[in-house]
Structure 1
């Protein structure tokens, strides 16, 4: 039994969801209230998401979760099949790039304006199982805090001036140097880096960020649509699409 504790548009959580979907692993989803975090009160020391419970075992951190599951299930694409050591090194490089840079570019894009911040929390609270009062509290405080954090903390921390421009640059880098001339970063089949980038991008598919990205980086859409087919339908047990 696999249970994912998440925030719905959290880039790190969406990496894990894309991996679980690709591997065809059924999983329960628990939406965590970002204000109280009461849903993860069982985790005394680690207070971030995603958290995955595999039966009674707790796995923390998206990279560790994916690496652990990949080791137990057998790697997505055996190194010998997709090019050996060089391809494995490429996969590791770009998987680390997702965590070190791409997620930090995506986040201020989600909360770029007040309107986008409120729209994102409308989406989050509609999909989460919150009561009316809790929903309004999360929507208001979440949107305000994430807008301010994105604009005043995250952009400065990562040296981002124009978040949209940095997003386009990141996607151009991914398509030119990560995917290259192949169908995927993994060659003929997706690897963990492909699935991670896809998951982060899929997290914003209902937002202006996604439409702007596809409109301004033309090469991304073909890869993204191929990934949609490879990843397939969501395997979460509540029947909600990712």
Structure 2
């Protein structure tokens, strides 16, 4: 459980996630930034036993014991979902060795060895790396990325930073707004990958 001492929300939340999924990272970043406590259930990326109960078969799934809520859409939050997130997979899984490195990091970051049997970890690491390397080629074409996908990643980062620099330290000015938290969440999903290290340089 992730507990915030400042949580006054009285919400009882359970996040079903893959530790390194960009969409899951966005949800965690939002909850952490706002000091909201939540339980985490790590979902097996291959068999997905933990979400068999749900008609919705993708993560994140956030269960809450509340009846109301709202969703606001902003240009940069949409950009994070429609542009930034789509340049990640082709970059993270650009080569077989980068795909394998990424899945080994996912295994470590997600605590898979503590959660799943050895054979299942091996299936997720090696099977997942191979599958995502193949899929990344289709994603590159689908999203019209540059032949050198790093160029697309760098261009997206420049676009974001130009918008941030026009506002101050954050897109929200002196403090992060929801778009800042969303972009942070998306990028944190690849922090242990070669693509992230390349982006930082």
TM-score (norm 1): 0.71
Say whether 1:99 aligns with 2:99. Answer: no
Counterpart in the other structure of 1:163: 149
Aligned residue for 1:180, secondary structure, equals helix
Distance 2:100 2:66 in 1: 36
Q: Which runs of 4+ in 1 moved over 4 A?
A: none
Residue of structure 1 aligned with 2:57, choices 36, 47, 50: 47
Distance 2:107 2:66 in 1: 28
Structure-to-structure mapping, 1:216-227, within 5 angstroms: none
Counterpart in the other structure of 1:195: 181
Distance 1:104 1:188 in 2: 28
Tell me how many residue pairs correspond in the alignment.
Answer: 185
Counterpart in the other structure of 1:146: 132
- In terms of fraction of residues, the more helix-rich structure is 1
Structure 2 residue runs of 5 or longer lacking an equivalent are 1-11
Counterpart in the other structure of 1:225: none
Structure 1 residue runs of 5 or longer lacking an equivalent are 58-67, 73-87, 216-242
Deviation at residue 124 of structure 1 after TM alignment: 2.1
Aligned residue for 2:15, secondary structure, equals strand
Counterpart in the other structure of 2:35: 24
The answer to whether the 8 A contact 2:80-2:183 is kept is yes
Deviation at residue 136 of structure 1 after TM alignment: 0.8
TM-score (norm 2): 0.85
C-alpha RMSD of the superposition: 2.1
